């Protein structure tokens, strides 16, 4: 059993000094303080009734705390939106305005732009910009029916004017984006919220962040599918630079980068990933097929109830996870690391941060409370990739102080899959699994 990651075999890290901006404090919500709480910290903001004030609650305190955190976060966002929309208008595209950007341009603070089903391309339907206002951009019939097609050039959306968490995007597919960096969605000095979106088939042609870039941003992604994006440099799926993003019940799959972080590349960032699948991502010439972390200054990285499987670092180390960190100790709880190559977890020589891995199933073994090394027995069903089949050692094997939000009581959960109250390991376990099973 290993206590620490093995040294890398060399090669490019994918994170060079030229990629790191002048050091500034990471973005936090205004009126925000960090309060110590068990193994993580809870971020509490101001009055949730104040329009535009983002609220984020991140906690592992007590067996129901995470579920309350997610519900509180969603309720807070909803209350902000409701407060801001007492006198709000609904602008319909193409009924009231011919393009999505025309709808956004005509909107006032707190308005909703509602988009009919269809594929939206060309001028006015890409490089979408909220222009610093808290607006809601929503589709009428969901992401499969409503597509923003960048047609091989330009981004889908760009947030760069201080938009807050009440700036929401819901129910779109963003595809065909191509920029030097941030191929699909760009978030810089802004904190938007994305729900039920697909960001797929985008390209950072000469830089980082094929699907999504967060630069000094506290963006939130809930139930989003970030897949099949590419980056010429690092972070094929998601790039995080001096940011504090949150990912809840997301799938980050099939992304590809050249130099590190096939799925997620995190540089000097506080990163919260809960109930997510990070699978089948690839880095070709460096390390960290699934996740690559580069931190010199202390960061808070909490990854809980995630399945990290089938990722590859073709000419590097850390198929699942690679770490270059002086002062960061990432925490992994209730996760599955399986089927990644050439190995699961690796780091950069003596600069390695010491990850805390507990109640995880990790191929090759790892010393930690509750950890196991047994085939998780994955099975895939419609809507459920890497589900745990009957008899999986990961069922009811998570932290005993954490309970599943929903088990076999939910009608969408296959009835023949046994699942008790104790949290499962992997993406479909834990108190936040309501998001997957709704």
CB 357 within 8 A of CB 334: no
Least confident of 146-155, 300-309, 326-335: 326-335
Instruction: Count how many residues are written for the chain.
Output: 438
> Of 225, 276, 281, 226, which is closest to residue 258 (Cα–Cα)?
281
**Is 70 exceeded by the pLDDT of residue 311?**
yes
Q: Quick one: pLDDT at residue 239?
A: 97
**Of 168, 9, 143, which Cα lies nearest the Cα of 73?**
168
Phi first, then psi, for residue 342 (nearest 5°) are -80, -15
Q: 66-70, 170-174, 428-432 — which is least confidently predicted?
A: 66-70
What tens digit of pLDDT does each residue of 128-148 get?
999 999 999 999 999 999 999
Provide the token pair at 398: 């998570």
Sort strands 146-149 and 112-115 into parallel, antiparallel or unpaired. unpaired
16 or 108, greater pLDDT: 108
| Mean per-residue pLDDT, 386-391 | 88
The tokens describing 48, both together, are 């949730």
Mean pLDDT across the chain, nearest whole number?
Answer: 82
Minimum mean pLDDT among 40-54, 211-225, 373-387: which range? 40-54
Q: What percent of the chain has pLDDT over 70?
A: 75
Contact 413, 407 (CB under 8 A): yes
pLDDT at 298: 86
What pLDDT band is residue 76 in, cutting at 50, 70 and 90?
low
Residue 20: how many CA atoms within 13 Å on its side-chain side?
Answer: 17
Question: What is the predicted pLDDT for the residue at 24?
Answer: 46
More confident residue, 27 or 272: 272
Q: What is the pLDDT of residue 410?
A: 59
**Residue 438 pLDDT:** 64
Predicted local confidence at residue 62, as pLDDT: 37
pTM of the model: 0.82
For 6-63, what is each residue's pLDDT tens digit? 334 444 444 433 343 444 445 444 433 332 233 332 232 333 233 333 333 333 333 3
What does the DSSP 8-state code read for residue 389?
A: P
More confident residue, 26 or 404: 404
pLDDT tens figures, 191-217: 999 999 999 999 999 999 999 999 999
Sheet holding 321-325, edge to edge: 6-7, 345-347, 321-325, 291-295, 264-267, 238-241, 212-215, 185-188, 157-159
pLDDT of res. 83 = 52
The answer to whether residue 219 scores a pLDDT higher than 70 is yes
Does residue 183 register a pLDDT over 90?
Answer: yes
The answer on pLDDT for 94 being more than 60 is: yes
Query: What pLDDT is recorded for position 316?
Result: 84
* pLDDT for the residue 414: 67
pLDDT for 323:
86
**Predicted confidence (pLDDT) at residue 412 exceeds the cutoff of 70:** no
**How confident is the model over 238-251, as pLDDT tens digits?**
999 999 999 999 99
pLDDT in tens, 155-167: 999 999 999 999 9
| Mean pLDDT value across residues 331-341 | 95
Using pLDDT thresholds of 50, 70 and 90, give the confidence band for residue 97.
Answer: very high
């Amino acid at each position: 059993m290993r206590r620490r990651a093995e040294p890398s075999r060399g090669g490019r890290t994918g994170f060079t000094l030229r990629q790191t901006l002048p050091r500034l404090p990471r973005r936090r919500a205004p009126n925000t303080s960090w309060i110590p709480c068990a193994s993580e910290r809870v971020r509490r903001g101001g009055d949730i009734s104040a329009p535009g004030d983002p609220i984020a609650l991140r906690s592992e305190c007590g067996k129901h705390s995470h579920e309350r955190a997610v519900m509180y976060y969603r309720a807070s966002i909803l209350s902000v939106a409701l407060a801001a929309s007492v006198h709000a208008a609904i602008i319909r595209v193409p009924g009231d305005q011919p393009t999505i950007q025309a709808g956004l341009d005509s909107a006032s603070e707190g308005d909703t732009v509602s988009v009919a089903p269809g594929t939206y391309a060309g001028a006015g339907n890409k490089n979408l910009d909220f222009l610093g206002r808290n607006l809601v951009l929503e589709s009428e019939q969901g992401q499969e029916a409503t597509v923003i097609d960048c047609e091989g050039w330009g981004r889908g959306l760009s947030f760069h004017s201080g938009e807050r968490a009440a700036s929401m995007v819901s129910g779109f597919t963003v595809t065909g984006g191509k920029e030097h960096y941030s191929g699909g969605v760009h978030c810089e000095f802004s904190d938007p919220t994305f729900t039920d979106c697909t960001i797929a088939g985008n390209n950072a042609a000469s830089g980082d962040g094929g699907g999504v870039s967060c630069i000094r941003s506290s963006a939130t992604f809930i139930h989003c599918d970030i897949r099949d994006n590419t980056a010429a440099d690092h972070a094929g799926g998601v790039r995080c630079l001096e940011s504090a993003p949150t990912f809840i019940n997301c799938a980050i799959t099939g992304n590809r980068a050249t130099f590190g972080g096939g799925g997620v590349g995190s540089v000097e960032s506080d990163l919260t990933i809960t109930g997510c699948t990070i699978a089948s991502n690839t880095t070709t010439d460096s390390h960290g097929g699934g996740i690559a972390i580069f931190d010199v200054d202390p960061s808070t990285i909490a990854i809980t109830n995630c399945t990290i499987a089938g990722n590859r670092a073709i000419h590097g180390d850390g198929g699942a996870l690679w770490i270059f960190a002086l002062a960061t100790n990432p925490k992994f709880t209730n996760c599955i690391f399986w089927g990644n190559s050439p190995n699961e977890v690796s780091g950069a020589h003596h600069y390695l941060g010491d990850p805390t891995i507990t109640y995880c199933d990790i191929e090759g073994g790892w010393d930690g409370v509750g950890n196991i090394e047994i085939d998780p027995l994955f099975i895939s069903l419609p809507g459920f990739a890497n589900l745990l089949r009957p008899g999986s050692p990961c069922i009811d094997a998570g932290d005993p102080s954490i309970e599943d939000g929903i088990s076999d009581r939910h009608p969408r959960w296959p009835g023949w899959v046994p699942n008790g109250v104790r949290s499962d390991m992997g993406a479909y376990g834990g108190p936040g699994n309501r998001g997957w099973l709704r």
